[in-house]
Amino acid sequence: MAHALSETELLALVDRLADGQWHSGEDLAQAAGISRAALAKRIARLADWQLSVEARTGLGYRLPNAIERLDAQRLQAALPELRISVLTVTDSTSTQAMAAPADADPQVFLAELQTAGRGRRGRSWVSPFGAQLALSLAWSFDAIPPQLGALPLAVGVCCAQVLRAQGLAAVGLKWPNDIQVAGRKLGGILLEHRGEAGGRCRIVAGIGLNLCVPALPDDQVQQPWINLDEALRAAGRSPLSRNALAIELLRALHELFSRYGTGGFAPWAAAWAVFDVTRDRVVRVLQGEHGFEGRACGVDADGALIVEAAGQRHRLHSGEVSVRI
């Protein structure tokens, strides 16, 4: 009977290739204690994880880009206030977070590979192995927090502030949930919530950041996008550690959620205005099959986008519209 490859065996191969350098097939097979034929099967299986392994006679095998795998022990040691789970392959970190028991909150699910990541308005979110930072934070409030509709904006501010602190001065936010650099999407945010027994409110905040995503087929691309590595190079900065970035981002999110239940959006409103890429620009608002153009005038206290058109001011909520600059 053929041996079914385990996740542990495939991860061991990924780790040997993670430096992005050439490794001979003989060395890889010997390290794993397998034949060259068995190694070839493992290399082929990595395609299931959306890893494209280069092969060249006389050189061996390599990954096009180095990979820093998520380190669950390092993350948990740095973030003792959160319960950390690192998944190798999952459908969606938000699906896993929503299904997890609320009494374990606050808890975080991160993944090397998402097969069915969710974006806004039902869009899919492509998340190749090790090429993104894909995570979801589950948090339970004792009651519905004030200005719940503005919470995604505050999460965006957290992300932008962390990235700016790491040297990405050009980062901006497009209402309601896109993280951008020079008009190209760097990441996205999706919040889901549900009521709990006793009036509690449970939030799952899903975040995806492109770090070194390879070129994607046209049918998977819905708007111009950019990798963090590329954006940092353009700013004269070195790539960031994936684990270090996750730690900084989760620390900022923990602080935000700890305060939001009493303070609401007000402490984050001024910072949103700083990062807002739509403010004072002409935008096109799409509501189903209908649309109109107007001037974006920032957001109100509840996070609604204010658009001035034909002498009227419209308050737009993220579940109802799409906005294009």
Q: What is the CATH number of the domain that holds 182?
A: 3.30.930.10
Q: Is residue 67 part of a domain?
A: no
Least confident range from 16-25, 156-165, 310-319: namely 310-319
Looking at residue 309, which CATH number applies to its domain? 2.30.30.100
* 36/146 same-domain check: no
Does pLDDT of 120 surpass 80?
no
Q: Is residue 298 part of a domain?
A: yes
Structurally, how many domains does the chain consist of?
A: 3
Does pLDDT of 199 surpass 90?
no
Boundary residue ending a domain (274, 293, 313): 274
- Asked whether the beta carbons of 174 and 316 are under 8 A apart, the reply is no
pLDDT of residue 197: 63
Query: For residue 291, what are the β-bridge partners?
Result: 286
- Asked whether the beta carbons of 200 and 138 are under 8 A apart, the reply is no
Least confident range from 2-11, 129-138, 152-161: namely 2-11
Looking at residue 27, which CATH number applies to its domain? 1.10.10.10
Boundary residue ending a domain (232, 252, 274): 274
Q: Residue length, the chain?
A: 325
* 170/318 same-domain check: no
Does pLDDT of 90 surpass 70?
yes
Model confidence band, residue 291 (pLDDT cutoffs 50, 70, 90)? confident
Mean pLDDT of 290-311: 92
Mean pLDDT of 214-233: 78
Give me the catalytic one of 42, 185, 242, 279. 185
Q: Is residue 178 part of a domain?
A: yes
- Asked whether the beta carbons of 28 and 10 are under 8 A apart, the reply is no
* 201/320 same-domain check: no
CA distance 180 to 187: 7
pLDDT of residue 32: 94
* 243/283 same-domain check: no
* 194/220 same-domain check: yes
CA distance 36 to 30: 9
pLDDT of residue 1: 40
Who wins on pLDDT, 242 or 115?
Answer: 242
Give me the catalytic one of 36, 121, 233, 324. 324
- Phi first, then psi, for residue 73 (nearest 5°) are -65, -40
* 286/221 same-domain check: no
Reply yes or no on whether 237 is catalytic: no
Token couple for 37: 């034929």
Give me the catalytic one of 120, 184, 237, 259. 120
Q: Is residue 91 part of a domain?
A: yes
**DSSP state, 80?**
T
Task: Please list the alpha-helical segments (H only) found in 178-315.
Answer: 228-234, 242-263, 266-275
- Asked whether the beta carbons of 44 and 54 are under 8 A apart, the reply is no
* 212/304 same-domain check: no
Query: For residue 207, what are the β-bridge partners?
Result: 135, 189
Reply yes or no on whether 120 is catalytic: yes
Which domain covers residue 36, as residue numbers? 7-62
Q: Is residue 15 part of a domain?
A: yes
Token couple for 204: 């799952």
* 292/211 same-domain check: no
* 56/76 same-domain check: no
- Asked whether the beta carbons of 158 and 300 are under 8 A apart, the reply is no
Mean pLDDT of 36-48: 94
Pairing of strands 83-90, 107-118: parallel
Q: Is residue 218 part of a domain?
A: yes
Reply yes or no on whether 185 is catalytic: yes
Mean pLDDT of 68-77: 97
What is the sign, positive or negative, of the torsion defined by CA atoms of 313, 119, 111, 215?
A: negative
* 153: nearest Cα among 161, 164, 163: 161
* 141/54 same-domain check: no
Least confident range from 18-27, 91-100, 118-127, 238-247: namely 118-127
Q: Is residue 2 part of a domain?
A: no
Task: Please list the alpha-helical segments (H only) found in 84-130.
Answer: 93-99
pLDDT of residue 231: 95
* 267/287 same-domain check: no
Token couple for 100: 């997890």
